Every structure is written in C-alpha cells, then in structure tokens.
A and B are shown apart, each in its own frame.
Chain A
Amino acid sequence: MAGGVTAAGLLAACGTNTGRSSGGGTIEQWYHAYGEAGVQQAVERYAKAYTDATVQVQWNPGDYDSKIASALAASNGPDVFESTLRVDMVRSKQIVSLDDLLGDARSDFTESVLASHTVDGQVYGIPQAVDMQMLFYRKSLLAKAGVQPPSSVAELIDAARRLTTDKVKGLFLGNDGGVGVLAGPLLWSAGLDYLTPDHKVGFDDPLAAESVGKLRQLFTSNSLLLGAPADWSDPSAFTQGLTAMQWTGLWTVPQVQKALGDDFGVLPWPALNGAGKASVPFGAYGSMVNAKSTKIDAAKKYVQWLWVQRGDYQQDFDLSYGFHIPARKSLAAKADKLKSGPAADAVRFVQDLGRPQNPPPWTAKMQLALSDSLNKIVRSGADATTELKNAAGSVQTELKRLYG
C-alpha cells in the first residue's frame, strides 16, 4: 500500500519511453476526452492541416488533470497539451511562456480569461474555449409561485423556500449542497476572493463567514434538492421537474432548450451585499507547451498557428460540437448560437461578471483546505468563523511555500 502511493510517481520518473519514437519532427499533442461527438475528429483534422510539422494527437479519457500533472513532473509528457494554469507549473518550470505568440490578437481575448492563463505578467496558455456556470430557473414555476428572478442572496433563499412544494424542490446546487461549486461565488458575492492580488488569504473575514452561513441556511431550509440521481453538471434534475432552479453549466443549454423550450432563464450567482458583486465562475482550458519538450520552438509555432492565427478552427472547435464560448471576443460576437436567449446572457455574464473558477495561484491543496471547511460549515453545521480560520491557516502555509 505504501508502495502504491509512490509507485505511480516512481514509474513516471523511470519512464524512458517518450512516446515520440515515431519520428524526429513529430509534435505530440494531448487533449482530455471531450464528451461531445466529433471533437476528436475535428482536432485530428486541424493537426493534419498543419504543414510545418507532423502533429500526433492523443485523446485522454479518465482523470486528465492528474495525468497531465504527473506527466509534467516526469519526462514523458507531450510537447503541446491543454490545461488550466496552476502557479506550481510555472514555479517548477514545467511550461514555457507563450507571451510572444499573441501579437495583435492579445486584445481580442476576453481579459479575465487571458488573466486566468497569466502568472507574473506572462501568458502561459492560449485560451481555447470558455465554459461557465450559472443559475437556471424555470419561468413558469416562478410565475406560478409569484416569485421574481432573485437578484440578491436573500431573495434567492426566499425564492427557493416559496418554490418548494411536496413534489418539487426550490433549488438544486449539487448533491453536496453546493459546497463543491460555489466556493468562489460565495466569496465574490461578499466582495471577497480566494486570494488578494498581493498573495494573501482573501477570505479570513467576517463577511465570508456570513456568506457561507447563507449556504448553510439554504442547506437546512428543506428547499434544497439533495441526493438527486444526476449531479449539478447534468440538467436532468431541472428538466425532469425535480427542482425549479438549478446551478449548472452553459453546456446544458441545448439539452434544456430541447426539454423546456423557452420556459427557462439564466442568472449569475447574486450578490450578498452592496460590497459584493453578482458573479459567474468560468474555466478555460488553454494550449500550453511542455518545458521538457525537445522541440519547444516548433511546438510554440504550432500553438500560435492553431489557436492564434486560425480563428476559423477556434470557432469550429467551440461551436460546431458542444456549447462553449470562444475565448476571442470577435468570434463570440459573430457566433449565431450565442446571439440570443440564455446563451447571449451567458456571454454577457462572462464578459461583465466572469471570475476564474480556479485562478492560477489557487492550488489543489488550498482547494482541499477550503473544501473541508465548507463541508464542515454547510453540511455538518460547524462554526463558520473558526473553520474558515483553519482553512486560512492551511492556505497561508501554501502561500508561504509559493511566495516566501
């Protein structure tokens, strides 16, 4: 068992098979397994169209983020890959700066999205596609209960209560009561953040305790749907009428439209008070280049060609198969699918209210500490101030490791 934990790392370290034996000039590129049909064929088509080098695409089902993390720590990683940016990758010199690839296109990328791929002023990932989460509500059920779409946390709690009947719950935030996906929105709604811009803990504040306390209030109010067969990322609970409102993602819009037609609207997570702001979290995979690659220059050129120069490919990649927002404003504005209805709202939310779900300095260890304390507060009823202080302590240790 003790071996089991380190065996993976050991094997990764000992691996000598670089997977690049198929030819000196071949660039190896990794994607995670996108769920939508046709994406794999599309990215293979783009790779084939590149004439300056041979590009070999690898499709990776399963826990892709962990796989990339261990491949980067070892020497058998791909040359080009998609990932969210974590400051650890930069600190351990696992990836190279791509700041010089953007050129004139820099201003065309949505600022907050590009910022989520920037560490110490350098861009390390070229954003490919934006996914975001927001609150879906059923218009007819709200009208029946005489409830207006909520614009503050207090109104949301009240709406959830009034929409709850013996058959339908008011709100679904995930089977964990929203603890997993709402950490960011809860802090932003109180005018706080995970971390401050000068790398200090951002949530060691009475307002954070108050905001998390609101989720606890919802959790115990009997108006939250808990233990649904499909979790928050799937629209089933909403489309099957188990809940009147649900926190889920932009990717569910086609399914919800098919099931409910026009009978739904979308909202950001509302503000707690005057100091806070409504928000939507977004996540954006960016294309990165492995610092251990033997052909960094060729890989950078390929990334520039695919994600900066070929706007038509980004448009195809984002809109022809699934439902993502192009990272480039000009493409998002052109897309017919995103011009009306909830999808248009979503684009506006990301541009005006979007915050990165996992900003680069927010490490997995910090996430583990905050997630533990949110679980204790919201689900087990522990004291919010004490638990958030504990989490702040762990985050402080991580910050010290990263920034001294």
Chain B
Amino acid sequence: MRKQRPLRAFRAGADRSKPMSSPGLERSLNRRDLSSLRLQTSARSAPFWLFVGPFLIGLLIFSYVPIGWSAYLSFFDAQGTVTPDTFVGLQNYADMLTGPFAQSLLTFSVFALFIVPLTFALALGLAVAVNRIRFARAFFRSVFFLPTACSYVVAAMVWKLSLFSGVRFGLANTVLDWFGHDPVAWLSNPDPPWYWLVLVTARLWLQVGFYMILFIAGLQRIPDSLYEAAYVDGARPGWQVFRHITFPQLRPTSIAVLLLSLIAAYQAFDEFYNLLGTARGYPDFGRPPLVYLYYLALGQTQDYGHGSAGALILALLIALVTLLQGRLLGLGRRD
C-alpha cells in the first residue's frame, strides 16, 4: 500500500558509492610500484590541502586565535586596548559573576527552560501535521518555513510597530478594545511582564519553521515498513503509533533540535535588541547576555577584559548545559 521511498533512496545511495572499489582502480593500483604510490599520496594530499587549507587558515585566524586572545584578555584590565599590561587575575570573572551579567545568565537560563520545549513541541506538531496533509503539502511547508527567511530586524519592527504597539490602534490593543480592555504598553511597562509575550511570539514565528523542516526530514527517513509491522501487530493509528514508532525514530533529529534551540536561546540578540533597545540604551529587564556584553565590551566602553570574561563564562555555560542535556537525553548513545 505505502511506497518504500526512503529505503529505495538508501539503496540508491549505496549504489553510488560503488565506483570507489571499481575493478579499473584496482588494476591501476596493481600496476604501480611503491615509490610511485608514495608520490601519488603526496599528489593526492595537495588537492586536500588546497581545498581545506584556506578554510582551516580562516578558522584559525577568525575563530581560534580570537578565542585564545579573548581568554588572555579576560585576565587583564583591558579597557580600550587589546594589548593590555595590567594583570588582574580572576577579578574580571568575579565582577561579571556578581554584576548584572549574572542576572542576565539566570534570566536566560529560565528563558531557555521555557522556549526550548515550546519550540520543540510546536515544530514537531507542525511537522507531523504538514507531513500528514494530503493536499497542498508544498504550500503549507513553504508557508511555515517562510518566516525563517525573514530578517530578525524586520520581524522585530513589525512586532513592535504594528502588532504590539502600545497605542490604542496597535493590532493587539485593537483586539483588547473589542473586549473593553484598556490598551497595554506591551514593551514599555515590565509590570506585568507582557514584553515576554512579544519576545517569545516573535522568536517562535521566526524559528519554528526551521526546526519543522528538520523534523519533516526526520519523518521522511522513518521506513514505512515499521508502520506496517506495527499495524500488523495491532497498533492503533494516532497516539499509540506516534508514541512507539514515530517519536523514538525521530531521536537523532529531536536531539539536534534541542541542542540548536538551546544554544540559540542563550545567544539571543537580534530581536531582543530591536524590540526592547532604544537609541539611549537597553533596559535592565529581558536583557540577553550578549546584549549586555555588547554594551559593555563594544560600544563606547571598549572594556575587552570584562567583555572577554563574560563571553567565556557564557560559552562555558552553554557547553555545560549542552553536555548536561546530552547526558540526560542520551546523546551519542547507541540505539
């Protein structure tokens, strides 16, 4: 009844790998002596370095050297200079962990705790729904994926100026007005913290489509034979099949989605900066660690010492939480 498209695709992939051990290649190897083989190896490594080299050099210069330099700066009083000479030991770390930065880290740990499961559930739900749809599948897939292509700045402007503008003719306030409710200053007044509603909806709208596509790819890799076997064994379509076949089969995708959305939560910047920031600064609430670092280390302050310490603390925290999550979910464990 169902077509075994994934399996056939897999076999086709295996076929493509065949020429690697083709008789022609073996014959040519047999004809060569040892010295020419060595020559061939170095000749082969030349293209390897040609292709990988520039990338590696770029990685070295633009990633590893700055990370190393950043680690070095974090132990110095490096205000307005990247070649500091006043060693301060762990003082920068102590300052960052007792100041507003620690508050940011805490807030965004809580934020991650909410946004990650929410993103996960919505993306998975959408993927399953879109995948089951029999008509206009490409249309729905595109519609939900499209926001991913939207600029965060543009989305933030739409959210701030038209959907959640604080005046009475903003969309959200118009709806409230139908129910006789006074206008709410969504982003201006943090009490009650309505700004989270604005931030979270913008983020979900922008990101869920991307994770949905990952899930759809995962769904399509599940062999139909598994479902058929389940039905033969008397499983009922719906929750039972989802619980015992679909969800376990999606584990690699699920782990990828959780990791990516977790890291994205800690690295939040764009929509936050554009929604809550003004030309005169950023409020102390809803302030992502990176926004705080932006004001501290870049801008006019140029405090690279504290900035680097903060950046390393954040990187360490992300690594720790990711490892913890991996441990809990069994990342890398064999099925």
Interface digits, A46-64 against B, CB 8 Å rule (1 contact, 0 not)? 0000000000000000010
Q: A175-B188, A242-B167, A372-B284 are in contact. Are A6 and B70 (CB under 8 A)?
A: yes
B211 within 8 A of A: no
Total residues of chain B contacting the partner, CB 8 A: 58
B82: contacting residue among A6, A176, A229, A367, CB under 8 A: A6
Interface contacts beyond A65-B299, A226-B166: sample of 16 additional A-B pairs, CB < 8 Å, sorted by A: A2-B67, A2-B70, A3-B66, A3-B67, A5-B297, A10-B69, A12-B82, A13-B82, A13-B83, A66-B298, A69-B300, A73-B82, A88-B79, A367-B281, A380-B191, A381-B191
- The answer to the question of A177 belonging to the interface, with a C-beta cut-off of 8 Å to chain B, is yes
Residue of A13, A225, A228 with most chain B CB atoms under a 10 A cut-off:
A228
* In the complex, B80 has a CB within 8 A of chain A: yes
Name the interface residues of B304-331: CB closer than 8 Å to any CB of A: 304, 307-308, 310-312, 314-315, 318
At the interface, yes or no: A396 with Cβ under 8 Å from chain B? no
Q: Which residues of A lie under 8 Å from residue B167 when comparing CB positions? A: 225, 227-229, 242
CB of B166 to closest CB in A, whole Å: 1
Q: Which of A1, A12, A88, A379 contacts B190 (CB 8 A)?
A: A379
A364 to B281, CA, bound (A): 10
Within 8 A of B (CB), among A1-52: 1-10, 12-13
Interface residues of B in 56-76 (CB under 8 A from A): 62-67, 69-71, 73
Distance of B63 from chain A, by nearest CB (Å): 5
Residues in A whose Cβ lies below 8 Å from that of B82: 6, 9-10, 12-13, 73
Q: How far is the CA of A177 from the CA of B283 in the complex (A)?
A: 11
Q: Which chain B positions have C-beta within 8 A of A9?
A: 82, 302, 304
Closest to B103 in A: A372
Distance of A198 Cα from B297 Cα, bound (Å): 28
Binding site for A on B (CB under 8 A): 62-67, 69-71, 73, 79-83, 100, 161, 164-168, 170, 185-191, 267, 278-281, 283-285, 290, 293, 295-304, 307-308, 310-312, 314-315, 318
CB-based contact A227/B298 at 8 Å: no
**CB nearest to B263 among chain A residues:** A1
The answer for the CA separation of A177 and B191 in the assembled complex, in Å, is 13
Chain A residue at minimum C-beta to C-beta distance from B71? A2
Give the residue of B166, B170, B189, B301 whose beta carbon is less than 8 angstroms from that of A365.
B301
CB <8 Å contact, B299 and A376 = no
Cα distance, A12 to B285, chains bound together (Å): 32
Q: Which of A324-380 contact B (CB under 8 A)?
A: 363-365, 367-368, 371-372, 375-376, 379-380
Determine whether the beta carbon of B69 is less than 8 Å from that of A231.
no
Nearest opposing residue in chain A for B166, CB measure:
A227
Cα distance A10–B311 in the bound complex, in angstroms = 15
Q: Could you tell me if A6 and B307 are in contact, using CB atoms closer than 8 angstroms?
A: yes
Chain A: interface size category: 35 or more
Please give the distance in Å from B167's CB to the nearest CB on chain A. Answer: 6
Q: Does A233 interact with chain B (Cβ within 8 Å)?
A: yes
Complex Cα spacing A227 to B160, Å: 8
User: Is B285 a contact of A92 with CB atoms below 8 Å?
Assistant: no
The 8 Å CB contact of B100, one of A88, A94, A372, is A372
Task: State A175–B312 Cα separation when bound (angstroms).
Answer: 33
* CB 8 Å contact bits of A75-110 with B (1 = contact, 0 = none): 000000000001010001010000000000000000
In the complex, chain A residues whose CB is within 8 Å of the CB of B62: 3, 7
Q: Is A235 an interface position by the 8 A CB rule?
A: no
Would you call A364 and B315 a contact (CB within 8 A)?
A: no
**Are A7 and B66 in touch, CB under 8 angstroms?**
yes
Contact sample, A vs B, 19 pairs, CB 8 Å cutoff: A2-B308, A2-B312, A2-B314, A3-B62, A5-B70, A6-B70, A6-B311, A9-B82, A10-B69, A69-B302, A73-B80, A86-B300, A88-B80, A174-B280, A176-B280, A227-B165, A227-B166, A229-B167, A368-B301
Q: Which residues of chain A from 211 to 249 have any CB-CB distance to chain B below 8 Å in the complex?
A: 219, 225-229, 231, 233, 242
- What residues of chain A lie closer than 8 Å to B191, measured between beta carbons? 379-381
